[in-house]
Amino acid sequence: MQDHLKNEMNKDMGADYAGMPADEKLPGANNEIEKAAESTPEAIGQYQRILERRRQRQKVSGNPAATFFCILIFLCVLYNAYLVETAKYEQNILKIQQEQAAKEKQAETDKIKLQIAQKNKESADLVIFNDKYLSIRKDYYSKIKTISVKAQVKSNSLADIIKITEGRIKLTEDYKSKLNTIPIPAQLANFYNYETEFADSDINLWRIINFYYLLNDLSKFDASMVYEESSKTHELFLKAQEELKNIYIEYELSYFLKDIIINN
Q: Model confidence over 154-211: pLDDT tens digits?
A: 667 888 888 999 999 999 999 999 999 999 999 999 999 999 999 999 999 999 999 9
Domain ranges of the chain: 2-62, 115-260
Mark out the alpha helices in the chain (DSSP H runs): 2-18, 29-39, 41-61, 64-151, 158-179, 189-214, 224-250, 257-260
How far from the centroid of its chain's Cα atoms is residue 24's Cα? Answer: 106
Q: What is the pLDDT of residues 123-160, one digit of tens each?
A: 889 999 999 999 999 999 999 999 888 877 766 788 88
Burial 206-244 (b: 16+ CB within 10 A, else e): bebbbebbeeeeeeeeeeeebeebeebbeebbebbbebb
| Helix (H/G/I), strand (E/B), else coil: 156 | coil
Q: Tell me the percentage of the chain whose pLDDT exceeds 90.
A: 34
pLDDT value of residue 29: 46
For residues 201 and 63, the model is more confident at: 201
pLDDT value of residue 93: 78
Mean pLDDT of all residues belonging to the chain: 76
| Helix (H/G/I), strand (E/B), else coil: 237 | helix
Q: State yes or no: pLDDT of 236 exceeds 90.
A: yes
pLDDT value of residue 176: 96
Report which listed range, 20-29, 31-40, 123-132, is most confident: 123-132
User: Which residues touch 161 (CB under 8 Å, ≥6 apart)?
Assistant: 151, 213
Q: State yes or no: pLDDT of 35 exceeds 60.
A: no
Q: Tell me the percentage of the chain whose pLDDT exceeds 70.
A: 62
